[in-house]
Amino acid sequence: MLASPTLEEDLRQADELRGRIDLVELRADHLRDSEAAAASSFPARVGIPCILTVRRRSDGGSFAGAERDRVALLRKLAGAGFAYVDLEEDLQAPELDAAVRKAGARVVRSLHDFAGVPSGLSRRIAALARGPGEIARAAVTPRTCAQLAVLLDACRDAGALPRVILGMGEVGFPTRVLASKLGSAWCYASPTAEAAAPGQVTPPALDEVYRFRAIGPQTRVFGVIGNPVMHSRSPLIHNRGFAALGIDAVYLPFHVPDLQEFWKVADSLGIRGLSVTVPHKTAVLEFGVEGDADVRAIGACNTLTRASASGRWIGANTDMEGFLAPLRHALGGKIPPGLRATVIGAGGAARSVVAALASVEARVLVLNRTLDRARRLAERFHADFAGLDPAGARAAEHTDLVVQTTSAGMAPQQGVDPAPGLQFTGREIVYELVYAPARTPIVQRASAAGCRIIPGWQMLLAQARRQFLLFTGAEYPSEVMEALSGQLD
């Protein structure tokens, strides 16, 4: 999707993406008036098939003129060599339809909903194509997994209808990556990952992170569920592994605000395995997950695989060993008994960390804003606990290791320090489980004090190695893991 104010900028962006794109959409509604008048030259200059779109403001576009002027512009440009012309569901302009067909272009008939998923979506999509060769296009905005499930049902109901059906925003993101699996004729992307529609992704990301061109009807689906989750680097890790081993699979993020409804999405897509991140690591256990020994001991789950025979979800926890491996390396290969450790947080990630530290006979103090949650976690693993207040900060003095397990510092909590009262002497090792951004507020303070830092990406890679084995039955390729370590460092 090209949405610059000038044709030259649109052409420059298309040239930069040459080889990654097969089709461009010119958003002529974003062009300056003088540029829009000259847009008839664009198809010949760009050299690949083009979609012409002049979108009204009411449909998320930028065209502010009269409707008759918009229709006149569309009619003028329709015969300029555009392969497709995008027209809205409610636009009644038979002379424009005829002009598009006479020019040899195909009509893309669109419906939009920037607020949610409209009722009767399957019926409305079926009614979009009014003539031979027309393509039905629906761009809606699921806010919940329940709405995403409705959107996926609409993809299935469309059958062989030529269409493009996509979900805007974070919840709808999987429909972009899975466009070919869901029967869409193409996927919309943009040079900036936003441009004119929320949730868009760049062509390089589609290629390099999600292996978009390798996805087909039989591609197996894996992913990570969380809230937030779009920052996750797990898709890069797992998809690189799939590519190296020639496995027909894709791994993508699922933004899950309503966990109970997500299982409908999982069934619809036939998801085979999932990573689980905040805040769902304990909550998933309420949905019939069959946990392994580690899950039962820790009370948290970060990995789900689906049993092929029964269809039940099997839970595992790779966080525990994933956490310990980088810590052992930082301590020269062995974690000394009696290590004094302070763990900030009492959620699912903290459960794995405290369990791991207890297994190596560390002395653990749990700090949490809600004291009762800190108490329950500490009692489970015979640790101490305190609040995130001045008294708790004093209790954490003379600590060898500080582990930050909360989502503080990560979007949408950028700039948040989970324990501003905790002072560093420079002798502590600070282990930050957040890895995006790399320098969270607590890491910045600890670094300034001279502390050694263990970044969260080290644990991410260590736990992902076992997850990959659980997902595929294959060892993660060591050369790819080494390359990722260098890239994330």
Residues catalogued as catalytic? 281
**DSSP code of 450?**
T
- Calculate the CA 348 to chain-centre distance: 20
Dihedral of CA atoms 220, 224, 230, 232 in degrees, nearest 10, equals -110
Angle between helices 67-78 and 94-102 (to 10 degrees): 20
Tokens 């002027």 belong to which residue? 69
Residue 366 in tokens: 């749990």
Please, what sign has the CA dihedral across residues 146, 152, 156, 161? positive
Phi then psi for residue 455, to 5 deg, are -75, 155
Q: How far apart are CA 200 and CA 186, in angstroms?
A: 13
Report in angstroms the alpha-carbon separations of 388 from 133, 340, 348, 358. 63, 18, 18, 21
Long-range contacts of residues 448-455, Cβ cutoff 8 Å, at least 24 apart: 449/423, 449/424, 449/425, 450/424, 450/426, 451/424, 451/426, 451/427, 452/330, 452/428, 453/429, 454/326, 454/327, 454/330, 454/429, 454/430, 455/489
Residue 5 burial (CB count, 10 A): 13
